[in-house]
A and B are shown apart, each in its own frame.
Chain A
């Protein structure tokens, strides 16, 4: 089976270089993306069969400096490989139609397609390389490829800005990871994860350094608060197929790293688990609250990624506690929630971004205040977006519910098994999860209701037109997966079970611990049957009692216009105000002073306090470094002098130390 994967990588290498040979953009776009999709289909066959008929395999390649590089296909790697390939497959198909629009507007997609392919390949490599040095190279390749994929539309100022946010964040993350893995290498004398795991001589101080740098480094990538500020900026700047990849799977590389660290390092103090719990809870609640305040469809979805990363983090922290207190059941439940939510979030977030991209192309703007009535214009997008919206709110019977259910269950089990203040903390976490569920419902009823329902708010009704066929397949496929993994959640659990067995380090069947999941399918089948029967009865009765279509009743007012609808801002205003100390809402308007006022304007904008904090922090660094700006004289002779000085310095050092 491994040949499937090798061929898949070779095909991707081919599509990486293809832009150098094919001149015609339109044909190139179709060729590269179809080739990628084919390659990923082969890769999916490999990872899926690997997960279903699981057996650990590893391959070794000799590399200079890094020593033997282990390419390992264990449960965790295969699970993430599968997730990455699934979404990359969908995004490749979606890119065909999406990029065609740009090509028609005269954009050059040549370099973009290469970097997009590189991003897909690098993400797969990150999941399977079990050698720290090779891992870091793949990690950096992923970061660079993602950066260049983001700044596709580089003439726009906000795009360059968003790309720069990503660039800074990903390098901060890489820097910390270098410290983390170099410390491990220093200690164990090896680069391979297996050796890190089998080494027993860790002292608490080393572990603390490794854990803190590793967790923060991966946490920046995953987008935990307060390191999330790059996310909304980068996601809204990137073209849709790239933002879908970023939001659905690129940030999951951070989650993979965290899970991997937890797997290879011995369990340390529970305090880290409680800390992660607190950070996750804050990320989840504030993430959705900030999302509620956004007007831009992509920024809103990006903030929702912060929320979902928080939910995954909740699962991870329960698993951490389970490891510290040697309770394998909690490890399995926590990881089951986290991994299942990773897969589920990848699916519905990809779906939502693709839907948002279709809307964006019709509206030519991401501002939801100008939207409305898109259900008539884009019926398929509307229906699948609804599925995604229900899933992301964690509502039954779609897949978001299954994973949130597992997280709840892990909370309740933790409360059972641990004593002291643990039950109280778990109750507060459960209430927090419920609270953010309520906020998510508010947020997605706002988004779906304002974008797809009602009448268009820009005054010009967009004409109904068919969605591009290349977007129909990913939309329908992902919506189908949302339903499948929602109604039969044990399928997702089955895919995660090799990883769960290894993470819990036990041979017991973990599926039994998550048993209510199997009962959910019967309950959902009954529920769906009830809905279908009731709907059929209602339609039958209505056909007898009569149905008529008429203008919306305006309570006696006859001149209703589209401007009288509720807007996204007014829908969310009160809830945003409730979060006032944390959410800074800036408003700009002139009070009406005359009796017959002319046109007046009102602007409101929600600032992210943490983003402002980072900007201030970078400002300080910038001001300090500006003191040394005279070094950069721009005169080439000075630079030659610097080089000589540096060389001289190194020679001196070599002399002294020898």
Chain B
């Protein structure tokens, strides 16, 4: 398998992926508004906000050093680079055995800089957000390895491409259960990693309860734009991962594959909108329990895994 894809279609898919990231966020916001009986802003609203931020000047704290200036770029690049491992075409843009490990660790690198950038400002709110992010992120990687790692062991392949493109045998019923359970823990992982309800509230801004928004409280201008764009990129990343996982037909196979892919994406967005409409954010002490629950689902996966 070649390291870097030469398939122009997959690169086109990546272009769509990077361009379309804010659209999914806009879609969720629209759905949320509709569910709660409001009309809501257009689905393109996130784009307008990104453009607005890009035009503004950037203000740095007097205490901030090079970390604050570098972090937005690192956070963006890690998420964007991790996306290149997902097989959006017949194969991923970059694929090699073990890319799923690099995927998890790249996202961790982004988180590392995000937390440091928060502590760089010397503000109390940012420190609070950073502490919470570090705390909840501890659970993210076990959940990821319980789902994707067990899939890798079962399919005996260690790259996203070989797992997601033809690695899963859909005729085996225990695989179907396996993938569905994995999908559930991915959904929980997405809620925590993308700072959505019930772990974090992307809308509150000046409460003592926020996590991601607290960390970027002092970011402005282009930096804030990069953070916001990365947030929507990560959201799309997890949704696409789920959609690729739950697709017996293959995205670039028959047309129905593309339909199933789009439906899963929409389903994830709708599910999230539903959860955010119906539920309030958890009290912070409850969040570790929620994440432990998601890890426990991963354990359930393992029990099935013994069966295989």
Interface residues of A in 395-444 (CB under 8 A from B): 395-396, 401, 405, 408-409, 412, 415-416, 421, 423-424, 426-428, 430-431, 434-435, 437-439, 441-442, 444
User: If A427-B153, A441-B137, A551-B62 touch, does A566 touch B218 (CB 8 Å cutoff)?
Assistant: no
A553 touches B217 (CB 8 A): yes
- Pairwise interchain contact B305-A427, C-beta atoms closer than 8 A: yes
Is A523 among interface residues, defined by CB-CB distance under 8 A? yes
Minimum C-beta distance from B258 to chain A (A): 28
Picked from B57, B97, B142, B158, the residue with its CB within 8 Å of the CB of A434 is B142
Q: Nearest chain B CB to A420's CB is how many angstroms away? A: 10
Q: Which residue of B lies closest to A537 (CB)?
A: B73
> Which A residues are in CB contact (< 8 Å) with B305?
423-424, 427
A448 touching B109 in the complex, CB below 8 Å, given contacts A423-B153, A453-B65, A574-B135: no
Which residues of chain A come closer than 8 Å to B302, judged between CB atoms? 424, 427-428
State whether the Cβ of B280 lies closer than 8 Å to any Cβ in chain A. no
Question: Which of B32-40, B144-152, B169-177 is found at the contact surface with chain A?
Answer: B144-152
B70 at interface, CB cutoff 8 A:
yes
Indicate if B86 sits at the interface (CB-CB under 8 A): no
A441 and B101 contact, CB distance less than 8 A = no
Knowing A531-B77, A549-B62, A570-B131, say if A430 contacts B149 (CB, 8 Å).
Answer: yes
User: Given that A395-B109, A445-B112 are known contacts, is A575 also in contact with B122, CB under 8 Å in the complex?
Assistant: no
Q: Give chain A residues whose Cβ lies under 8 Å from the Cβ of B81.
A: 526-527, 530
* A530 touching B116 in the complex, CB below 8 Å, given contacts A405-B98, A516-B97: no
Establish whether residues A431 and B145, one from each chain, have CB atoms under 8 Å apart when the complex forms. Answer: yes
A 515-556 binary contact with B (CB < 8 Å = 1; else 0):
110011011001100110011001001100111111111110
B221: interface (CB < 8 Å): yes
CB distance from B228 to the nearest CB of A (A): 14
Q: Which of A395, A396, A431, A444 has the most CB of B within 10 A?
A: A431
Partner of B115, one of A396, A434, A445, A551: A445
Cβ-closest chain B residue relative to A550:
B59
A334 within 8 A of partner (CB): no
Give A444's nearest chain B residue, CB to CB.
B112
Q: Is the interface of B mostly helix, strand, loop or mixed?
A: helix
Query: Size range of the interface on B?
Result: 35 or more
Pair A530/B77 contact, Cβ less than 8 Å:
yes
Chain A residue numbers with a CB within 8 Å of B142 are 431, 434-435, 438
Residues of A within 8 A of B132 (CB): 574
**Cross-interface CB contact of B145 among A430, A454, A547, cutoff 8 Å:** A430
B67 part of interface (Cβ distance < 8 Å): yes
B206 within 8 A of A: yes
The verdict on A453 contacting B116 (CB below 8 Å), with A424-B305, A519-B3, A527-B81 known, is yes
Closest Cβ–Cβ distance, residue B132 to chain A (whole Å):
8
Q: A437-B105, A439-B138, A453-B122 are in contact. Are A548 and B60 (CB under 8 A)?
A: yes
| CB <8 Å contact, A566 and B106 | no
Of A375, A548, A554, A573, which contacts B59 at CB under 8 A? Answer: A548
A359 within 8 A of B: no
Q: Kindly provide the distance from the CB of B290 to the nearest chain A CB, expressed in whole angstroms.
A: 13
Shortest Cβ gap from A248 to chain B (Å): 22
B54 pairs with A541, CB closer than 8 A: yes
Interface of A is mostly: helix
Judge whether B77 and A545 touch: CB under 8 Å.
no
Whether B134 contacts A565 by the Cβ 8 Å rule is no
A453 engages B77 (CB within 8 Å): no
A interface footprint on B111-126 (CB within 8 Å = 1, 0 otherwise)? 1100110111111111
Smallest CB-CB separation from A400: which chain B residue? Answer: B105
Q: Which residue of A lies closest to B56 (CB)?
A: A545
Asked if A449 is at the interface (CB within 8 A of a chain B CB), the reply is yes
A575 touching B119, Cβ below 8 Å:
no
Q: Please state if B65 and A375 are interface contacts (CB–CB under 8 Å).
A: yes
* 28 A-B interface contacts by CB (under 8 A): A376-B65, A395-B108, A396-B106, A409-B158, A427-B145, A427-B305, A430-B145, A430-B149, A431-B146, A434-B149, A437-B108, A441-B112, A453-B122, A454-B121, A455-B122, A519-B96, A531-B73, A538-B226, A545-B56, A547-B221, A552-B61, A552-B126, A554-B123, A555-B217, A562-B122, A565-B123, A566-B119, A566-B124
New A-B contacts (13) at CB < 8 Å, excluding given A449-B119, A553-B61, A554-B124: A405-B101, A415-B153, A434-B104, A434-B144, A435-B138, A442-B135, A445-B112, A455-B122, A516-B98, A538-B72, A560-B123, A566-B130, A573-B131
Residue numbers of A with Cβ under 8 A of B are 372-373, 375-376, 386, 390, 393-396, 401, 405, 408-409, 412, 415-416, 421, 423-424, 426-428, 430-431, 434-435, 437-439, 441-442, 444-446, 448-450, 453-455, 515-516, 519-520, 522-523, 526-527, 530-531, 534-535, 538, 541-542, 545-555, 560, 562, 564-566, 570-575, 578
